[in-house]
Structure 1
Amino acid sequence: MLSHSQKTRASYAISFPQADRKPPRRPNSDMAAPPVRICDISRAEQMSSAPAQIGSLPHGARERRINPVGRAATAGVPRATVGGLRLAVLDREQTAEFMVEAVHPNRRANRPLYLTSANGEVLSRCSTEPMTDRLFRTADLINADGQPLVMVSKLRSPNPLPERVATTDLFHDVARKAEELGLTFYLFGANEAENKAAIANVRRAYPALKIVGHSHGYLRGDALRAKVDEINALAPDFLWVALGVPYEQAFVDEFMPRLGNVGVIKTSGGLFNFLSGSRPRAPRWMQIVGLEWAWRLWLEPRRLFWRYLTTNPHALYLLFNRTRSSSTKD
């Protein structure tokens, strides 16, 4: 049986310097992560075996609390500690407005603004996987993409999370605003068929939306670096990255320095599966009461049973023991 450090190294050793090396197994995330070159194996091993260094990541990203660019860009956003992570106290409309305002020429920095999302699984993994925790803490803004997080915050905080900000819904909020304002999208991730189907459906739903490009996520090495440079040359206002946790967060850490022309990067999990129509959403009532996980378990029991059996109880423990009763803008 693998030790914890061996499991950690295996989870993050996702680059393949040898041509005949097999891609990684499917991770516990919303979609299968493509075999992209994200973290160098040797450096990932050093990070997993060495003591954590505050603000230190394999490619130099820094936690938001010691990152002046991120702090300045999000200074006006209230936050609450829920389950151990600092989450934005914003509803969907406010989040969409924040993203649109962030790409205004007068507000852009010399790097993209980086937004990601957390649910119960993420809380559990951040608590037990030091590298995942550090990757999430480099985000400029973390939204609550899980109804239980909202429900517990309403019980424990005087200034609770107003609502769940599901990326699957947020995408459409931003798309409508981008269509009106002439802002641009790039969709990166999923396999080729899913990516193309998602693009086709988005173009039908938003015919005036400017999609400057799209690509599946099954790239590595020079092909991946060339694609990143191509994305930067296209300079989309919004780059939606759907590779699954923690691969999409590691992608941002690896390539943010090469994406200076991008306005906002939003990690997206299984978004493209919903946009393509290959995966149905849970009934609205299940989403409202926090049972969307049960719907997904019913659809994919073999893949998700063990994941939910191990992470859901742990996430509930974290929610009730690491949710603070205060909310600040820091």
Structure 2
Amino acid sequence: MLERRVNLLGRTATAEVPRITVGGLRMAALDLEATADFMIEATDPRHRVGRPLYLTSANGEVLARCSTEPQTERLFRAADLINADGQPLVAASKLQSWFPLPERVATTDLFHIVARKAEAAGRTFYMLGASDAENAAAVARVQKMYPNLKIVGYSHGYLRGDALRAKVDEINALAPDYLWVALGVPFEQAFVEEYTPHLTNVGVIKTAGGLFNFLSGSRSRAPKWMQTIGLEWAWRTMLEPRRLFWRYLSTNPRALYLLFSRNRPFNS
């Protein structure tokens, strides 16, 4: 696999994490709790690797885009760990592997587990992304839910050029243990590629997609039963048909094909 050759430092830092190839991408075979524990352990000063670890997530849409967009595929293969944020990925792995993905690791769920653990361990957050209003509302709700969590800074995600470079320098000076980047695919992955060399004081960068919209309360998650059977995409399409109908119409069939043609039982 490509990431074994181009990402040797990350490969070493995550060597103990089991992986399974699903739909063409190597996924961490960890549940939510184990993923959060890994993230807490990764920010222990004894385990820092000289640059932030880069964690991202993949669902069916990501699989489809990686199979047709070489640039997007390259950005995902550069990740130190990829979590499966899609129930269909979990279901496909269980049908085809003796070592399946244990559960879906949705960033929206993972954030809260990491926040509780970080609060107890004294770890720090920085939240970058979404609009100014959405970002501020998300931070306010997080602070209310986790009053002892240290959020050292936050910013909207519409910075460009010199303003963005200055913000990156500011983030590095604040040295958060976790930088949550919610810019959407593939912009957040491109941000990680470009600015990781300037964020050496950060412990973990976790891409977060639309996380801040859920944290702010402006967007609601699908009912639990729809999440369980892998229909959260249908719920999102119902809420945003103009933006998402054609996207899922084009990516879902390809993702389904990939899930049953580009899996591998197990690779460490």
The TM-score, its normalising length taken from structure 2, stands at: 0.98
Q: Pick from 159, 162, 167: which aligns with 1:219?
A: 159
**Equivalent residue number for residue 144 of structure 2:** 204
Aligned structure 1 segments of 4 or more residues deviating by more than 6 angstroms: none
**Equivalent residue number for residue 253 of structure 1:** 193
User: Is 1:323 matched up with 2:263?
Assistant: yes
Deviation of 1:67 after TM superposition, in Å, equals 2.2
- Paired residues of 2:129 and 2:135 also in contact (CA < 8 A): yes
- Paired residues of 1:64 and 1:140 also in contact (CA < 8 A): no
**Equivalent residue number for residue 15 of structure 2:** 75
Q: Pick from 233, 236, 239: which aligns with 1:299?
A: 239
Structure 2 gap ranges (5+): none
Deviation of 1:323 after TM superposition, in Å, equals 1.1
User: Is 1:280 matched up with 2:220?
Assistant: yes
The TM-score, its normalising length taken from structure 1, stands at: 0.80
* Structure number with higher helix proportion: 2
**Equivalent residue number for residue 240 of structure 1:** 180
What is the aligned length? 268
Secondary structure of 1:111 counterpart:
coil
| Cα distance in 1, alignment partners of residues 86 and 79 from structure 2 | 18
| Cα distance in 1, alignment partners of residues 220 and 35 from structure 2 | 24
**Equivalent residue number for residue 153 of structure 1:** 93
| Cα distance in 2, alignment partners of residues 65 and 286 from structure 1 | 38
Deviation of 1:302 after TM superposition, in Å, equals 1.1
Deviation of 1:109 after TM superposition, in Å, equals 1.0
Counting only pairs closer than 5 Å after superposition, residues 76-115 of structure 1 correspond to structure 2 as 76-115=16-55
- Paired residues of 1:64 and 1:139 also in contact (CA < 8 A): no
| Cα distance in 2, alignment partners of residues 64 and 213 from structure 1 | 34
Secondary structure of 2:45 counterpart:
coil
| Cα distance in 2, alignment partners of residues 304 and 128 from structure 1 | 18
| Cα distance in 2, alignment partners of residues 226 and 64 from structure 1 | 33
RMSD of aligned residue pairs (Cα, Å): 1.0
Secondary structure of 1:218 counterpart:
coil
Deviation of 1:64 after TM superposition, in Å, equals 4.6
Identity over aligned residues, as a percent? 75
Deviations 1:270-325 (A, max 9, x none): 0000000000010011100101111111111111110010000000000001112x
- Paired residues of 2:180 and 2:207 also in contact (CA < 8 A): yes
Structure 1 gap ranges (5+): 1-53, 56-62
| Cα distance in 2, alignment partners of residues 67 and 206 from structure 1 | 35
| Cα distance in 2, alignment partners of residues 192 and 287 from structure 1 | 29
